[in-house]
A and B are shown apart, each in its own frame.
Chain A
Amino acid sequence: MFQRRLGGALAVVALIAAACGGGGPSSAPTGGAGGPGATSGTGASPAASLDMPTAIGDGEGALNLVIWAGYAERGASDPAYDWVTPFETATGCKVTTQDMTDSNNGVSLMQSGNYDGISASGDATTRLIQGGIVAPVNVDLLTNWPNVFPGLKGLPHNTVNGVPYGVPHGRGPNLLGYNKDVVTPAPTTWDPIWEGGSAYKGKISIYDSSIFIADAALHLMAKHPELGIKDPYQLTQAQFDEAIKLLQALNANQPTYWGTATDQQTSYTSGDVVIGTTWQYQVNLLVADKQPIEAVLPDEGSTGWSDTWMIAKAAKHPNCMYKWMDHMMSAEANAEATVWFGEAATSPQACEAAEKLSPGHCTQMHATDEAYFSKVHYWATPQQDCADSDPATTCVTQDDWVNAWTTLRGG
């Protein structure tokens, strides 16, 4: 009996360990030269003063990455899609990865100081830069940087005073996925999810992250212009409250929340859900699995992401990370990765290479179609100053978004 008692005690210890796992001595917010006050744009800080490397040395033999599921394939699912093994062979850097469930999770993982880099979306990049977790990148050292589409350089979510804090991986919208056998006619708007008393009660699939509040705000932007929402990530308290009301109505329709791509695949396959927010990635895998699933970018537009490979300031394998960033911008790797995930490639060379894997890839993903991407609101961090220069308005903060999400999910 005593052993079992001990087992109970161990379970408690495990719980406690889990509870304070993320609370370990996270890397101190040192900020570094030019780090804090990053978006406020106070004077240009010359790249030289940012303590960036001037050459890439030999690989350190290992590379630890925080990634979105599907961002580092080694051919396990489909031998044609393997851009990790060639990298390891060429550089000797053994790659290990940790999937993040959402950007909040990604930031938290990076704070642990155990990783060399991350494929961060725009709602993580700003926090990582301001928190002094990631370092600026000397792009002159990266041979593939000049090829990148000009439209993907110098974007505000990963650039401070003209200094890039990473290199682009790919971009795409969050889509409305649906089971075409059940949902007829094919939806062209987000209404089936948002407009009250859903016909798909209990069968709706929703992304489980505080950033999903922006999807509600986006719907309000289209349906209720009188609320004056300009940016679904920077909301005044009144606008935010309306978005939460919409989410509570959605919650009453008992959606299934998905944390990982695999979760959502399982619930589509079992028939537990028939409609909801998704990424092209899951849809590709479900279609390959002969499931009657399709995805559409609704007329109102959508939230989306533009992902950046960033290097940790405290990276233990900085040379390997520089080599990885360069590798991920190369024609072959970028083509494979963006076709595999279902997102827009980042250079003309990658688009050309993608033709062999998926003809018309860059056209389908609108790689250079800025008009298309103007309908896509890239994930961004909610900021108290509304991320604008107007001092009069204040917006609901990131912390409040997370709290509201906890309340919505736990209530």
Chain B
Amino acid sequence: MSSLAATEAAPGRPGLRRRAAAWLHARPRLQLGLLLAGPLGWLGLAYFGSLAILLLSAFWTKDSFTGNVEPFTWSLRAFQQLFAGEVYRTVAVRTIGIAALVTITDALLALPIAYYMARIASPRTRSLLVIAIVMPLWAAYLVKVYAWRTILQGHGLLEFVTAPFGIESTGLTNIANAWLVLSYLWLPYMILPVYAGFERIPASYLEASSDLGAKAGTTFRRVVLPLVFPALVAGSIFTFSLSLGDYITPDLVADAKFIGNVIYDNSALGDPPLAAAYAMLPIAIMTIYLLIARRLGAFASL
């Protein structure tokens, strides 16, 4: 009795807090709900909210002369224009094509590097390599792209190297520049998951394979590659989606129009509904891509 009185007598707060804790303890679901309410609310409002507005604004009308957008007056004009315009298909094919090329290039570059890091390099070399690969991520994106501009433009480093062979710079209007620079930019995002994928393969599998008489090539093809494939797909999510959504690099180094450029141009030049409608395309592509990637087990490798 006296001990109870002592608790009661203690400043009210701890008692209340303890009672609340006890009450919550009995309700684990509510506990979880309160914990996640903040971040989930943010996700719901900022992320899905903006997506919803995007979806809606694609159906808004726009005055064809003044360019004023009239919210909540509905029209399919933007979609009709998208389907009627050959250019929007060309741009989509170009963007997807370059994104796919970048992904394949990065995969081919990442496989040997990641394999070396995970299986051959000494721990010291390995950590040096990890630092070397992560280091470019410390530099700002724009700094890297502008560095590439100075390399690729006329009187640049590339021309300095190729000029003796009679090859002139093609300047900053060559679509291959976009492929080159995007491959450079996103390479670390491919190497790291693939490296982790190689690390997860137990050495005993490789030993078992060679014990059973498989040559190095066969082991790589039949044992290593299938095991590391989900990691490759995981890496490809980054390289593909980042290339698909990029609009600064193609503009700065190749003067090429990607999906993102057309979206940006239209939002900056006065046709936000068209921009919103076109933005549905990369969203749809990535949704499909992620569904396939999940099937291939990529999410387990992240």
Contact = CB atoms under 8 A, between A and B. Distances in A.
A393 interface: no
B87 A15 contact: no
Contact of B85 (A104, A398, A403): A403
Q: What does DSSP make chain A's interface, helix, strand, loop or mixed?
A: helix
Given A1-B196, A29-B68, A407-B86, A16 B54 contact: yes
A19 B68 contact: no
B275 A270 contact: no
Interface string B79-95: 00100011110110000
Interface string B263-287: 1111111111101100100110010
Interface string A247-272: 00000001111000000001100111
Contact of A4 (B87, B189, B269, B282): B189
B279 A15 contact: yes
Given A23-B276, A407-B85, A8 B242 contact: yes
A140 to B, nearest CB: 28
Given A12-B241, A22-B270, A23-B275, A406 B265 contact: yes
A263 B273 CA distance: 28
A110 to B, nearest CB: 10
A16 B273 CA distance: 13
Contact of B257 (A1, A108, A409): A409
A66 B76 CA distance: 32
Interface in A351-401: 381, 383-384, 397-399
Interface residues of B, number: 67
A101 B267 CA distance: 13
A101 B270 CA distance: 13
Interface in B162-201: 169-173, 189, 192-193, 196
Contact of B156 (A18, A107, A270, A383): A270
A120 to B, nearest CB: 13
A153 interface: no
Given A271-B154, A410-B257, A22 B272 contact: yes
A8 B173 contact: no
A13 B68 CA distance: 25
B66 A23 contact: no
B50 interface: yes
Contact of B262 (A15, A130, A256, A406): A406
Contacts of A15: 245, 247, 260, 263, 279, 282
Given A15-B282, A411-B90, A399 B269 contact: no
A185 interface: no
Interface in B10-52: 46-47, 50-51
Contacts of B275: 19-20, 22-23
A21 B67 contact: no
A25 B242 CA distance: 29
A399 B270 CA distance: 9
Given A127-B66, A270-B156, A8 B238 contact: yes
Interface string A17-38: 1111111011001000000000
A154 to B, nearest CB: 22
B64 interface: yes
B86 A11 contact: no
A265 to B, nearest CB: 12
Given A11-B242, A16-B279, A23 B269 contact: no
Q: What does DSSP make chain B's interface, helix, strand, loop or mixed?
A: helix
A381 B283 CA distance: 34
B211 interface: no
Nearest to B299: A5
B132 interface: no
Give the residue among A22, A127, A131, A202 with the most B Cβ atoms within 10 A. Answer: A22
A8 to B, nearest CB: 6
Contact of A111 (B51, B69, B273, B286): B69
A105 interface: yes
A23 B245 contact: no
Nearest to A273: B171
Interface in A123-140: 127-128, 130-133
Contacts of A13: 46-47, 50
Contacts of A271: 154-155
B279 A19 contact: yes
Contacts of A25: 71
B196 A131 contact: no
Given A12-B286, A20-B57, A22-B275, A130 B65 contact: yes
Interface of B: 46-47, 50-51, 53-54, 57, 60, 63-71, 81, 85-88, 90-91, 153-156, 169-173, 189, 192-193, 196, 234, 237-238, 241-242, 245, 247, 255, 257, 260-273, 275-276, 279, 282-283, 286, 302
**3 A-B pairs closest in CB distance:** A23-B272, A131-B66, A22-B267
22 contacts: A1-B192, A8-B238, A9-B47, A11-B242, A12-B286, A15-B247, A16-B51, A18-B263, A19-B267, A19-B276, A19-B279, A20-B57, A20-B275, A20-B279, A22-B267, A22-B272, A23-B57, A23-B69, A104-B268, A381-B65, A398-B67, A410-B87
Interface of A: 1-2, 4-5, 8-9, 11-13, 15-23, 25-26, 29, 101-102, 104-105, 107-108, 111, 127-128, 130-133, 202, 210, 254-257, 266-267, 270-273, 381, 383-384, 397-399, 402-403, 406-407, 409-411
